[in-house]
C-alpha cells in the first residue's frame, strides 16, 4: 500500500517538473513554472522522507541537520547575492549539485561488500555518476573563478587539448579496469575520483571567459546527467526524471547558445575565445567622438524609436532600474523604447533578461537578436550600455578576429549610436571594438547608472 502511494506521489512530482519546465519557456509564466517545479521537488523529498527505502537506517537527524545547514546557507546567499554575481552563484550551485552526485557514487562504491564486482549495469551507472559529478563540481568551480575574474588570465595550461585527451583516456582505462576486477578496490576508486576531479579543472580552464554562458549551460547538463545516474543507483524515479529533464534542457540550451554564436560546441570547448586575441587593424580612423548629457537628452526626447542594448556593464553598474526609469520618462514623451537582447550578453544564459525582469521591464519590449536586427534601420538612437563583443563589427568584417562569424546586433544600421562605457577597455574577447570609432557613434564615458540618472534629469528639463 505504501509503495503504491509512494509511486503515485513520485508520478505527481514528475508531472509538476514537466509542467514547470514548460512554463519556464515564456517570461509571462516563468515565475509560476519555477513554483510548480519547486513544489514537485518538495513533494518528492517529503514522500521519500516519510516512506524511506526498505531496510534503510534511520538517519533523520543527519538529514534534518543537512537540510537546516544547507537551506540556511542557500537562503542567506540568495538574499545577499547581487545581480551582478548571479552567474557566479549559479555556477556554485551547479557545482554543488555535481558534488552531490559524485559523493553519492563514491559512498555507494565504498560501502560495497568485499568481492563485489563492478562489471554490471549498476557498477557502470555508479562509475558514470562519479565521473560526471566530478567534472561538474570542479569545472563549475573553475567557471566561477573565471566569472569572478581572479582566474581569467592567471591559470594557463600548455597544450590543453592533449592534456584533456590524455586524462580522458586514463579515466576510461581506469573505469574499464575497475569493471574487470573480481572485487571492488577502493584504491582504484580513489585514483579514479582524483583524476576525474582534475579533468574537470583541465576541461574548463582553457575555455575563454567570453564562452562562459555556453560552459554554464553545458555543466548544467552534466549535473543533470549526474543526478539521473544517482537516481538509477537508488532506483528513485524522481531523481532519474528530474536529472534527465535538467540534462536535456541544459543540452538544448547549449546547442542554442552555440547556434547563436555561429560556432560548434567542439569549437567552444577546444578553441574558445576570451583569451586575449587581437583583431587586425581597421581602415577607419580611430577618433572617438564624445557625447554630452544635454545633447544626448535632446536627441532621445525628440526621437521616435530608441533601442537599448544592455551588456555586462549594465549589471556591474546596477543600472537596470535606472534605465527602466529613463524608458518610462521617454515613453511619457511619446518615444518608443525597446531592448535588444543578444543570446550571449552577460555571463550566463538569460543574464540580461533576469536583470531587466528584476526592474519590472515589460518583457514584450525585449527583442531577440533577429527581431532586433530587423528593426535597426528604423531606430533613431541606439544606447549601447556596457556591451562590447555582441556589437563588435569585427564579427562580420575581420576574418582574423576570434569572434569572426558570431552573429551580432547590427547597431551600425541605426541612425545614431551612443555607447555608455567607463573607458575604452576591450570586451571579454580581449579585442578592440571598431564600432566606437564609427561615423555615427558617440561615447558617453562614466558609470552607467550615474550617466543614465543625469540623462533622466536632462530629459525632464529639456
Q: Which of 211, 389, 398, 410 is catalytic?
A: 389
Q: How far apart are CA 417 and CA 440, in angstroms?
A: 6
Using CB atoms within 10 Å of the CB of residue 178, give its burial: 0 to 12 exposed, 13 to 18 middle, 19+ buried: buried
Q: Mark whether 398 is an active-site residue.
A: no
What is the 3 state secondary structure string of the chain? CHHHHHHHHHHHHHHHHHHHHHHCCCCCCHHHHHHHHHHHHHHHHHHHHHCCCCCCCCCHHHHHHHHHHHHHHHHHHHHHCCHHHHHHHHHHHHHHHHHHHHHHHHHHHHCCCCCCCCCCHHHHHHHHHHHHHHHHHHHHHHHHHHHHCCCCCCCCCCCHHHHHHHHHHHHHHHHHHHHHCCCCCHHHHHHHHHHHHHHHHHHHCCCCHHHHHHHHHHHHHHHHHHHHHHHHHHCCHHHHHHHHHHHHHHHHHHHHHHHHCCCCHHHHHHCCCCCCCCCCCCCCCCCCCECCHHHHHHHHHCCCEEEEEECHHHHHCCCHHHHHHHHHHHHHCCCEEEEEECCCCCCCCCHHHHHHHHCCCCHHHEEEHHHHHHHHHHCCEEEEECCCHHHCCHHHHCCCCCCCCCCCCCHHHCCCEEEEECCCCCCCCCCCCHHHHCCCEEEEECCHHHHHHHHHHHHHHC
Picking from 189, 178, 201, the residue whose alpha carbon sits closest to that of residue 98 is 201
Let me know: does 443 contact 421? Beta carbons within 8 Å: yes
Asked whether 130 and 174 are in contact (CB, 8 A), the reply is: no
What's the burial of 325, exposed, middle or buried (CB within 10 Å: 0-12/13-18/19+)?
middle
Residues known to be catalytic? 389
Amino acid at each position: 500500500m505504501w509503495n503504491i502511494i509512494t509511486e503515485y506521489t513520485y508520478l505527481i512530482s514528475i508531472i509538476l517538473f514537466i509542467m514547470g519546465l514548460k512554463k519556464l519557456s515564456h517570461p509571462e509564466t516563468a515565475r509560476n513554472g519555477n513554483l510548480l517545479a519547486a513544489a514537485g521537488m518538495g513533494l518528492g523529498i517529503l514522500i521519500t522522507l516519510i516512506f524511506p527505502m526498505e531496510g534503510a537506517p534511520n538517519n533523520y537527524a543527519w538529514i534534518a541537520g543537512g537540510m537546516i545547514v544547507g537551506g540556511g546557507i542557500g537562503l542567506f546567499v540568495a538574499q545577499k547575492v547581487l545581480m551582478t554575481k548571479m552567474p557566479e552563484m549559479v555556477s556554485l550551485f551547479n557545482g554543488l549539485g555535481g558534488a552531490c552526485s559524485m559523493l553519492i557514487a563514491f559512498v555507494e562504491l565504498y560501502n560495497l561488500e568485499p568481492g563485489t564486482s563492478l562489471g554490471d549495469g549498476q557498477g557502470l551507472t555508479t562509475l558514470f555518476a562519479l565521473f560526471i559529478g566530478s567534472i561538474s563540481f570542479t569545472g563549475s568551480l573553475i567557471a566561477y573563478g573565471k566569472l569572478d575574474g581572479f582566474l581569467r588570465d592567471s591559470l594557463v595550461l600548455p597544450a590543453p587539448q592533449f592534456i584533456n585527451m590524455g586524462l580522458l583516456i586514463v579515466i576510461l582505462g581506469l573505469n574499464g579496469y575497475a569493471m574487470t576486477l573480481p572485487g571492488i578496490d577502493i584504491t582504484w576508486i580513489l585514483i579514479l575520483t582524483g583524476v576525474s576531479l582534475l579533468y574537470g579543472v583541465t576541461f574548463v580552464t582553457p575555455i575563454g571567459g567570453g564562452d562562459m554562458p555556453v560552459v554554464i549551460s553545458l555543466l548544467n547538463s552534466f549535473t543533470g546527467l549526474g543526478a539521473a545516474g544517482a537516481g538509477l543507483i537508488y532506483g528513485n524515479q524522481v531523481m532519474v526524471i528530474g536529472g534527465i529533464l535538467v540534462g536535456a534542457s541544459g543540452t538544448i540550451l547549449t546547442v542554442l547558445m552555440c547556434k547563436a554564436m555561429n560556432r560548434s560546441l567542439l569549437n567552444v570547448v577546444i578553441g574558445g575565445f576570451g583569451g586575449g586575441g587581437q583583431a587586425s587593424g581597421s581602415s577607419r580612423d580611430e577618433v572617438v567622438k564624445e557625447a554630452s548629457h544635454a545633447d544626448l537628452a535632446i536627441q532621445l526626447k525628440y526621437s521616435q524609436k530608441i533601442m537599448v542594448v544592455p551588456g555586462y556593464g549594465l549589471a556591474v553598474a546596477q543600472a537596470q532600474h535606472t534605465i527602466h526609469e529613463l524608458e518610462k520618462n521617454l515613453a511619457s514623451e511619446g518615444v518608443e523604447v525597446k531592448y535588444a537582447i543578444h543570446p550571449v550578453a552577460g555571463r550566463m544564459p538569460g543574464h540580461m533578461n533576469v536583470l531587466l525582469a528584476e526592474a519590472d521591464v515589460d518583457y514584450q519590449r525585449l527583442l531577440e537578436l533577429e527581431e532586433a536586427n530587423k528593426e535597426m534601420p528604423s531606430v533613431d538612437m541606439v544606447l549601447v550600455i556596457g556591451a562590447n563583443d555582441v556589437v563588435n563589427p569585427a564579427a562580420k568584417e575581420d576574418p582574423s578576429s576570434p569572434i569572426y562569424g558570431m552573429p551580432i546586433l547590427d547597431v551600425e544600421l541605426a541612425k545614431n549610436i551612443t555607447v555608455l562605457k567607463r573607458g575604452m577597455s576591450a570586451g571579454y574577447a580581449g579585442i578592440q571594438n571598431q564600432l566606437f570609432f564609427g561615423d555615427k557613434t558617440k561615447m558617453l564615458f562614466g558609470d552607467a547608472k550615474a550617466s543614465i540618472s543625469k540623462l533622466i534629469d536632462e530629459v525632464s528639463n529639456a
